[in-house]
Structure 1
């Protein structure tokens, strides 16, 4: 049952990223760099290295959690890990919950570490896990960090989903205290608010991935799996990634950004709004399934090359220096900031 569901998720997720799908409006387009014609630096002086919460990454881009639990998704994890190895990207496994329920699925996750032996690997679990289960998940893939995903919206729409969420804060706190690697909490595409990030900081979490609306929509995926798709009104639920970043700045945790990152300019925009690194999943998966590992390696290499070019043009020698660039926030995102009392005049500085 779990394997079938994971295969369904892959098919429905890639359908959302199909070239035939019309591009959805994005609040990333309401974040514009103010052009300064003499701001540029020398490309030789630009480094993509980034760090947060004691973690150092060679690049500010990572392959975010996607899948695992079936033979097909095991092949996908292997190919994603090869692409991560060839480009130096950190990578997260999909949720290891299938492994905890059925240890025979371990081989659908272990290729991530096998194919990326020296890279940064994040294990992924939901907030129902116990500390012992978290340790087992970390050990399986020799993880350098643990992602805990929050997905109340997905579970609510999922026909067989969980219906009890009140214990999640205590569970997260127990896991964070029990494991020896940093714990990163992420959403699955509906955004983390500043209030949520502040609560996570009090639970011992080391970083937060705001994972906002705009990428793979799990409300739509789960609604498509229902006998009667009656949750369509949740298609636009949640915070966009730029809105979540602006809302969560200054609430006690380093921020990562994923959700609706379409190209290197969106990555640069997220870094300018305070993210230390930027994750992608659905778009990368579509490239992989359409063209294979070589196509994904070329795609990621192009992203890294273009991000370096943008930083050179903007005069940012490190990803963190993009937060010192002048940006203009317009349209509905500016209205959101007004309604939330976010002072855009003080948007620069330490995002934690």
Structure 2
């Protein structure tokens, strides 16, 4: 059967605009709206801190800075890759870059493949650096890119790191998407050896497994962003762009972010970043407690920007960072890394995942006493 699209899915620019519109819509309806069973609760809700009433420390002693392969970041939070490639999304990138600059957190670009096909679109990505000249900016490409294309993308925005996104599920559902993913591992290895900045490989919302992260480490990747299910659902977005909507059965594909973090816990030689379904500062703390070095947010921040403006997004990020600092204060965690020693109760679907994957959740509940 031939792939068909909705009337709004003309060229790359229209597709980028479609993605933004659908992503914001999902913030209101939820990424899993329309599924037959009730999975509205996030797996982050199955990860809870054990409260120790005398564990608290001085809030002023809490330090948010983290060491990443791309250098020291002032906080364990970044604006994850979203958009670019059209006039409208270029404007959004500029506003996101201003928010990143004012909030002093890193920002990742959306896929820069459109620029590689059409250099006239360079400005829709270059604005990330123009508006944020001294900040951490991360380039973004798909895994079909060549080493030369990767160097061009990094050079365009003077990137501090390069994100390579993995989106096989999205491409399979996308009417005009790729259908051949066999070259991805070799391409990633070539790019990691060719560019002069750290390479981060991220999923776009379906999760990274233990086997995948181990393989990425062997390919020379510096960090893996698990990009788990629970945030913006690109299978649903692409299905809504199909005239028949005939791929709804893939909407619940993949592993959630907490499950991915548990699956990849203890892997050495590669940093683990977390994104996908992060709704609040508490979810940031949960992800850090599950072993993430830093946490990326896309859909929530995009929604605030689109509906309330840049100043509101800067305020939102500031509120998140202050709330994270206060959560760490109560938990007795002076640094983000200290959260990995806090006691966690793993319940619900997360505990079921652990059982299915041979992970014992019990030791997580007594980490502080063992430490």
TM-score range, shorter chain: over 0.9
Where do 4+ consecutive residues of structure 1 move more than 4 Å? 19-23, 345-349
Unpaired segments ≥5 residues, structure 2: 1-10, 34-38
* Alignment equivalent of 1:7, drawn from 14, 17, 35: 17
Judged with a 3 Å threshold, the aligned counterparts in structure 2 of structure 1 residues 332 and 20 are, in CA distance, closer, same or farther, namely closer
Q: In the alignment, which residue of structure 2 is the partner of 1:226?
A: 242
SS at 2:295's partner residue? strand
SS at 2:109's partner residue? strand
Q: In the alignment, which residue of structure 2 is the partner of 1:100?
A: 116
Residue 54 of structure 1 and its aligned partner are, at CA, apart by: 5.8
Unpaired segments ≥5 residues, structure 1: none
Q: Please, which moves more after superposition, 248-257 or 72-81?
A: 248-257
Q: In the alignment, which residue of structure 2 is the partner of 1:39?
A: 55
Judged with a 3 Å threshold, the aligned counterparts in structure 2 of structure 1 residues 183 and 16 are, in CA distance, closer, same or farther, namely same
Q: In the alignment, which residue of structure 2 is the partner of 1:289?
A: 306
Q: In the alignment, which residue of structure 1 is the partner of 2:282?
A: 265
Within the alignment, does 1:191 sit opposite 2:201 as a pair?
A: no
SS at 2:345's partner residue? strand
Within the alignment, does 1:315 sit opposite 2:328 as a pair?
A: no
**Aligned-pair Cα RMSD in Å:** 1.4
Cα deviation 1:142-190 (Å, max 9, x = unaligned): 0000000000000000000000001100000000000000000000000
Q: In the alignment, which residue of structure 1 is the partner of 2:4?
A: none
SS at 1:230's partner residue? coil
Contact 2:86 2:124 in 1 (8 A): yes
Contact 1:82 1:116 in 2 (8 A): yes
Q: In the alignment, which residue of structure 2 is the partner of 1:70?
A: 86
Residue 51 of structure 1 and its aligned partner are, at CA, apart by: 1.2
For 1:269 and 1:190, the matched residues in 2 are separated by: 19
Residue 346 of structure 1 and its aligned partner are, at CA, apart by: 4.8
**TM-score w.r.t. structure 1 length?**
0.97
Contact 1:271 1:320 in 2 (8 A): yes
Residue 19 of structure 1 and its aligned partner are, at CA, apart by: 6.6
Q: In the alignment, which residue of structure 2 is the partner of 1:334?
A: 351
For 1:20 and 1:101, the matched residues in 2 are separated by: 33
Q: In the alignment, which residue of structure 1 is the partner of 2:5?
A: none
Residue 250 of structure 1 and its aligned partner are, at CA, apart by: 2.0
The number of aligned residues is 349
Q: In the alignment, which residue of structure 2 is the partner of 1:161?
A: 177
For 1:344 and 1:120, the matched residues in 2 are separated by: 36
Cα deviation 1:262-306 (Å, max 9, x = unaligned): 011111000000001111001100000101101101111100110
**TM-score w.r.t. structure 2 length?**
0.92
